[in-house]
Amino acid sequence: MTNRFEKELGDRLIRYAAIDSQSEEGSLTTPSTSIQYDMLKLLEKELNDMKAHDVQITDYGVVLATIPANTKGPAIGFLAHVDTAPQFNANDVKPRMIKGYNGGDITFPDDPSLVLSPRDFPHLNEKQGHNIITASGKTLLGADDKAGIAIIMTAARHLLENPNIPHGKIRLAFNPDEEIAKGVHKALPKDLGVEFAYTFDGGKVGELDAETFSADLAEVTIKGVSIHPGEAKGEMVNAIHLASRIINNLPQTTMTPEVTDGRDGFIHATDMVGGSSEMRLKFILRDFELQGLKDKGHLLSRICETVQESEPRSQIFCHIRPQYRNMRYWLDKDPKPIELAETAIKKLGIKPIKKPIRGGTDGSLLTEMGVPTPNLFTGMQNVHGPLEWISTKDMDAAAELLLTITSIAAETEN
C-alpha cells in the first residue's frame, strides 16, 4: 500500500468534521435539519471546483455528480451520508490529529477524565505508528460518515485529474438523514442511474457488509385519565404507570441491545416522553430474519393489548412501520457487486471480513429499491460517542479500494 492519499484524507476529514450537520429524529423536513446544507453546499462547490459533471443538489437534499466514463464498464455509484448521529453532542466539533500514535492511552483536552485506551479497545493496538484523528472530548467526531465522504471525494479528485485511468461511468451521491433511517428518497435510485453501488460507511479495514438487520419502528401512545390528584381515587388512570408496565413486561434479560449480540435481534426502547395524562414511547425492532422481526412486533403489540385490557379506561395504540430490510435477500440473487468488491479487497492484499452488521445502511434501502448496494469499510471506530477515532492509513486503504473496484470493473468489461 502506498499511503499516497493520507494527507488529503486527513485534511478533508478534519475540515468536514468541524461542520455541524447533525440530523434530527422527528423532524418533518427533508433534510431533517437545515444545517446539513452546510455540508451539501460545500460538497457541491468542491465537486464543481474539481470539474465533476452534472453536479446538483436535488430537491430532496442529495448532492449528485458524475465522473464520465472513458471506457466500457458498468455504471457504479459511490455514496456517503452527510449527517451525524443525533445520539450525542455534535456542536462545535474540534477534530485533532495524533501523529505517529505511540500505542498508549489517548486523552482529550476538553475532558481530562476521558481516556481512549488499547486496554479497552484492543483494535487500537494495531494502529501504532498511524496518524489517528479524534474529537476533543465533548463531542462525537463524525467520521460516521464524513470519513466516507473524504474517501469518495479524494478518489474522485484523483480520477478527474488523471483521465488516463480507465473506468466506466461513476456516479457520486452524498445524502442527508442516514442516521434517522430517512436517507434514501424514492427518487434516488432513478436519479442515481447505476447498475449497482457501494456505501462507504463501514468500520475495520477489510469489512464488506452484505447483510444487515431488518428494521421496524414502533410508536406507542398511552392515554390515561387526568384528574386533580386530590380527588383521584377511583378516577385517575396514570399513563406513566402504564408505560412503565409495558417496559417492564418486555423480556429484558433476552431481547434488549445490552444483552444481545451476533445474530440475535432486539427490542430497544429509545424514547419515553409525556406525563400522567398521556405518554409516548418509541421502540426500534431489529432482527436479521423477517419472521423474527414480525415476532418482535407481535410481542410488543400483545404486551400493549394486555396492559390496555388490565385498565379499560385507558387507550393504548401501538403503530409499527417498516424502516429497512436485510440487504441479503436481494444480494443473494445478484452477487456481482459483492464479488467485485471482494476481488478488489484481495487485490490490495487485505483479508475480506464478511459478517452481518448489527445495524443498517442507506444500502439496505437502496438494495430493496432495486440498486444492489453493499457497504465498504472506512476505518471508523467507536462511532456515535466521544471516543470515536479513525486512522488516516485505514482511510487510505478505503480510497485505494474505490479506485481498484472501478479499475477491475473496467478490465472485466474489456
Give me the residue spans of the domains in the chain.
6-212+326-413, 219-324
Q: What is the pLDDT of residue 114?
A: 97
The domain made up of 219-324 has a fold known as: Alpha-Beta Plaits (3.30.70)
C-alpha cell of residue 21: 450537520
How many helices (H) and strands (E) would you count in the chain? 10, 16
Residue from 161, 155, 191 nearest 173 by CA: 191
DSSP annotation of 297 reads H
Measure the CA–CA gap between 82 and 75, rounded to whole angstroms.
Answer: 23
Contact status, residue 175 vs residue 183, Cβ threshold 8 Å: yes
Pairing of strands 76-81, 196-202: parallel
Query: What residues are labeled active site?
Result: 83, 178
Alpha carbon distances (Å) from 392 to 101, 369, 380: 11, 33, 10
Q: What is the pLDDT of residue 232?
A: 84
N-term to C-term CA, the chain:
26
- Full pLDDT tens readout for the chain, 414 residues: 568 999 999 999 999 999 999 999 889 999 999 999 999 999 999 999 999 999 999 999 999 999 999 999 999 999 999 999 999 999 999 999 999 999 999 999 999 999 999 999 999 999 999 999 999 999 999 999 999 999 999 999 999 999 999 999 999 999 999 999 899 999 999 999 999 999 999 999 999 999 999 999 999 999 999 988 898 899 999 999 999 999 999 998 899 999 999 999 999 999 999 999 999 999 999 999 999 999 999 999 999 999 999 999 999 999 999 999 999 999 999 999 999 999 999 999 999 999 899 988 999 999 999 999 999 999 999 999 999 999 999 999 999 999 999 999 998 865
Q: What is the pLDDT of residue 1?
A: 57
> Residue 409 burial by CB count (10 A; 0-12/13-18/19+): exposed, middle or buried?
buried
Contact status, residue 318 vs residue 300, Cβ threshold 8 Å: yes
Please, which residues have CB within 8 angstroms of residue 120's CB and are 6 or more apart in sequence? none
Please, which residues have CB within 8 angstroms of residue 378's CB and are 6 or more apart in sequence? 143, 145, 147, 148, 151, 200, 201, 202, 203, 390, 394, 395, 398
Measure the CA–CA gap between 408 and 206, rounded to whole angstroms.
Answer: 17
pTM over 0.85: yes
Q: What is the pLDDT of residue 2?
A: 66
Measure the CA–CA gap between 20 and 17, rounded to whole angstroms.
Answer: 7
Contact status, residue 379 vs residue 390, Cβ threshold 8 Å: yes
Measure the CA–CA gap between 19 and 394, rounded to whole angstroms.
Answer: 22
Q: What is the pLDDT of residue 26?
A: 86
Residue from 194, 198, 174 nearest 184 by CA: 174
Is 3.40.630.10 the CATH number for 6-212+326-413? yes
Q: Is 73 helix (H, G, I), strand (E, B) or coil?
A: coil
Q: What is the pLDDT of residue 52?
A: 98
Q: What is the pLDDT of residue 25?
A: 87
Is the omega angle on the peptide bond into residue 83 within 30 degrees of 0, that is, cis? no
Q: What is the pLDDT of residue 414?
A: 56
Residue from 243, 328, 331, 319 nearest 287 by CA: 328
Q: What is the pLDDT of residue 362?
A: 94
Contact status, residue 57 vs residue 31, Cβ threshold 8 Å: no
Contact status, residue 366 vs residue 127, Cβ threshold 8 Å: no
